Chains A and B, each alone.
Chain A
Amino acid sequence: MTRKELVVSALENGTVLDHIPAENVYKALDILNLKGIESQITIGINLASKVHGQKGIIKIADRFFEDEELNKLALIAPNATVNVIREFKVVEKKKLSIPKEVMGIVKCRNPKCVTNHQPVKTWFNTVQEDNEIALKCHYCEKNTSIKHAF
């Protein structure tokens, strides 16, 4: 057995989310709504990564995600890779892409936005702002930067 296999044990069926920035692992759990589910979850934080310095990894047993759910993750972990595991084998590898729209999860930063005062589900379009991704509120038309969004 190599050392790598010891650090993160193998999964029979489920999803492995790799190359998440170490500091965003907890946010990733939020975005994917993984708090309080019953499946076995293994979390690694500050693991050595050849490419990204320190990385995080989340392994979720018996859980498979729609692309739409996964793409939300791209907002905080654009370089993450998704491995779909069935019977101990990687049957699919996916790259994430930034979603065009983000519904729910994020609150609008504008204190006067209608979504912060009325029971309205938030709705953002992703836009470029100074080479960074920002979320433009469909309602108040103000931008919320990704840094402030989660």
Chain B
Amino acid sequence: MKKSLISIRDFTKEEILHVLETAKEFEQNKEQKFLEGKVIASLFFEPSTRTRLSFETAINRLGAKVIGFSDAANTSQSKGETLKDTIKMVSNYVDMIVMRHPLEGSSRYASEVADVPVVNAGDGANQHPSQTLLDLYSILQTQGTLEGLTINMVGDLKYGRTTHSLLQAMSHFNPKFIFTSPDELRMPKEYKSFLDSMNIEYVETDSLDAHLNECDILYMTRVQQERFTDPMEYERVKDVYTLNASMLGDVRSNMKILHPLPRVTEIDQDVDDTPYAYYFKQAENGLYVRMAIISYLLGYR
């Protein structure tokens, strides 16, 4: 039976760990062309250079060919074709579909219409599971374990889908959470209820300094203008946190800073040269994790 990856909750703890182990294999040897002869569609109904290039590089490194588009403007969607028809048509041609779409739930729907596995590369503000898996991989590689860690999430915890998915995924591994956000952008109630139901500890603060020295992972996020419906709300909170090197004097020695990128003002450039900065390596890890996801869903790993 075909298996898709739409939401991080589609993977069990065992599947998550399996994909992370597989990613290690690709990090050690990225020339493994066992998908030669396969064709994979890369359908980007909204632009995302970083995610698209990472997926397409992963596909190429595995030896498969890529077809697709990077912007819906030049497709028959702009002529009014339904998503269902586009997916049906493409699914006849290829062995797998990687898609990003601005509508939430679009990838789930596509996976029900398509005859081939679908990988969600982001559906609006909803899910972006390959980002979550590369975050987990980065945590595993820097800490040596996923168990019992303290994760400090900073910034837009209300609209930031990466923090929501990471929270769900980390819930398998006995974490503690610190939620650092302005009042307007606090972690939504449904996620806190979820943690309560799992007996997972968390504290909330609006001060970046307050718990900086108590965490193993500092997960910084950008306040994304495109997620706000109220422009005034965005103006009030856009530059609320800036991390710089002088704040890192007493942090744990194993502490690493992650950021899904692109960053704007929330991490000063002087942090880049500290031993705590990991965000560029984190982006590189996306390649190995996406190679692992594709290989696993197609039944090769």
Contacts and interface: CB of A to CB of B under 8 A. Distances in A.
B84 A139 contact: no
Given A129-B193, A140-B126, A141-B127, A118 B104 contact: no
B105 A141 contact: yes
B23 to A, nearest CB: 25
A138 B102 CA distance: 17
Interface residues of B, number: 20
A110 B124 CA distance: 11
Contacts of A110: 104
A115 B123 CA distance: 13
A120 B83 CA distance: 10
A112 B7 contact: no
Contact of A114 (B106, B125, B193): B106
B103 A114 contact: yes
Interface in A99-148: 110, 112-115, 117-120, 129-130, 137-143
A139 B193 contact: no
A114 to B, nearest CB: 4
Interface residues of A, number: 18
A114 B190 CA distance: 21
B82 interface: yes
Contacts of B106: 114, 118, 139
Contacts of B123: 114, 140
A112 B101 CA distance: 11
B127 A118 contact: no
A118 B190 contact: no
B93 interface: no
B109 interface: yes
B127 to A, nearest CB: 7
B108 interface: yes
14 contacts: A112-B124, A112-B125, A114-B101, A114-B104, A114-B105, A114-B106, A114-B109, A118-B84, A118-B103, A119-B84, A139-B105, A140-B126, A141-B7, A141-B104
Interface of A: 110, 112-115, 117-120, 129-130, 137-143
Q: Which 5 A-B pairs have the closest CB atoms?
A: A139-B105, A140-B104, A140-B105, A114-B105, A114-B103
